[in-house]
Amino acid sequence: EERLRFALNASRLGVWDHDFRNNTFEFSPLWLNIRGFDTPDELLHNTPEWIHQVHPDDRDFVQTAVERQNNNDPDYTVFRYRIRHRNGEWIWIECRGMGVQWDADGKLLRAIGTDADVTSRKDWEDQMTAMSRRVRLALDISSIGVFEANLTKGISDWDDRMYDIYGLDRDQTVFVGDAWEKLLHPEDRDRVLEKMNFHLENLLPHSDEFRIVRPDGTVAYIRSRSQ
């Protein structure tokens, strides 16, 4: 119990225990602290009014998620929602839980889980999503294709634009040393591969211009940069 308590505190996880038989909702001090409260008397939890502490845009979702989580729906074992902190700000809660006890008729008697404040993580994820969207838009406007070659596994990961540039079907797996190399113009192939191998072996940024011959026979001029 002591190790578990230390682990939960180190992980910043607040524990909750909902007993439906006695209509009680117990929680650890950290669960309370996450919401900015000092005493349970300040909470509305386990009362019909508690849902009003949840962000208006999340209330319908939370009520559905809690119901599904109590029924051990695997899609709702973990869910996130916003709730008002004591200081008035909205914070993001990641709730993990499941039903643990039922009566003979299958009625849920008890559910246990943890809550974590993931506001900073959610903000970071939103920033990364926005940045990714801007990068994707810039790439689309510039008609640039993006690839990542895993030299250990021997497979390249291409985005849709790369397939369009090289004239390949999008469901085709691109193997290192195969698809791209075979499309190089015969007059450019030796020079391009020699330069590419030199930069790979010396971990140097690579930039080159060359011709390719698409499967339909058309020739395209390519500017490629990689690192």
The reported pLDDT for the residue numbered 42 is: 66
Whether the pLDDT of residue 113 is over 80: the answer is yes
Whether the pLDDT of residue 41 is over 80: the answer is no
Stated pTM of the model = 0.61
Average pLDDT of span 101-108: 90
Average pLDDT of span 97-101: 91
Distance of CA 38 to the CA centre of its chain: 33
**How do residues 62-73 score in pLDDT, each as one tens digit?**
999 999 988 889
Average pLDDT of span 101-107: 90
**How do residues 164-222 score in pLDDT, each as one tens digit?**
999 999 988 999 988 889 999 999 999 999 999 999 999 999 999 999 999 999 999 99
Least confident of 46-50, 89-93, 129-133, 197-201: 46-50
The reported pLDDT for the residue numbered 45 is: 66
The reported pLDDT for the residue numbered 47 is: 66
Average pLDDT of span 127-153: 88
Q: Which has more pLDDT, 38 or 88?
A: 88
Mean pLDDT of the chain: 90
